[in-house]
Amino acid sequence: DTAVSQTPKYLVTQMGNDKSIKCEQNLGHDTMYWYKQDSKKFLKIMFSYNNKELIINETVPNRFSPKSPDKAHLNLHINSLELGDSAVYFCASSQDVGGFGYTFGSGTRLTVV
Amino acid sequence: AQSVTQLGSHVSVSEGALVLLRCNYSSSVPPYLFWYVQYPNQGLQLLLKYTSAATLVKGINGFEAEFKKSETSFHLTKPSAHMSDAAEYFCAVSDNWLNAGGTSYGKLTFGQGTILTVHP
């Protein structure tokens, strides 16, 4: 039973399109995150939600909009996709807001052509 | 803000040899430190974490790390490498702060990663 699941696993799309990545966790965690891993494998946080409330919003273009319908779900919507958005996006959750025990999803590889 | 630096983007060892992956941190407060492993096309898996208890931390798969405040280091070691250890390893520090209500929030800041190759 997957703890943090992301869909889709792979996403290839054209520039200018709008796409969404979904994330669900069945661990009962209150805090969820989106991280971006670029082509050089550098991981950087994008957003964090605690109990559906946005608590971290790093310097991310406003084309990226997270949505948390409930504490088990954190989706990422991206408008007007650009080539530079190509990356692997990881969802994660933690049992506490201190971030001491992350569980990561397996990632969504987004390729913008 | 906290940061971590991993020395060596690639480390190559022979099967059975000692594994040493280096991580140095920068933090203005006592840090919480982590090592994660990423196998090809997979997510990150927590190997071990230091949260101000014992300075020598044991993790999964025979890995351990020692927190050395004087050296601001948190190097990852394994006495004997196995072929299945080949992966990318990330050191991370938790950047924590308090909101107005006194709740502690955290986010992980990752190092650049070290690719471990194990030769037969």
What's residue B20's pLDDT? 98
- Res B101: pLDDT: 64
* Substitution target from B44, B47, B51 for chain A, most A beta carbons within 10 A: B44
Average pLDDT over residues B50-61: 88
Query: Using the 8-state DSSP alphabet, how is residue B64 labeled?
Result: E
Query: What would the pLDDT profile of A8-18 be if each residue is shown by its tens digit?
Result: 999 999 999 99
Question: Which range (A62-76, B84-98, B100-114) has the least confidence?
Answer: B100-114
Q: How far is A7 from chain B (nearest CA, A)?
A: 13
At B102 the pLDDT is 64
Q: Is the dihedral of CA A11, A15, A20, A23 positive or negative?
A: positive
Instruction: Specify the pLDDT at position A37.
Output: 93
What is the Cα–Cα distance from A66 to A86, expressed in whole angstroms?
Answer: 17
pLDDT tens digits, A39-71: 888 899 999 888 888 887 887 889 999 999 998
- Residue A99 in this model has a pLDDT that exceeds 60: no
- B18 three-state secondary structure: coil
Is A49's Cβ below 8 Å from some Cβ in B?
A: no
Q: How far is CA A45 from CA A34, B43, B56, B82, B83, in A?
A: 6, 15, 28, 31, 31
Is there a contact between A45 and B108 if contact means CB atoms under 8 Å apart?
A: yes
Is A60 within 8 Å of chain B by CB? no
pLDDT of B28: 75
CB-based contact, A28 to chain B, within 8 Å: no
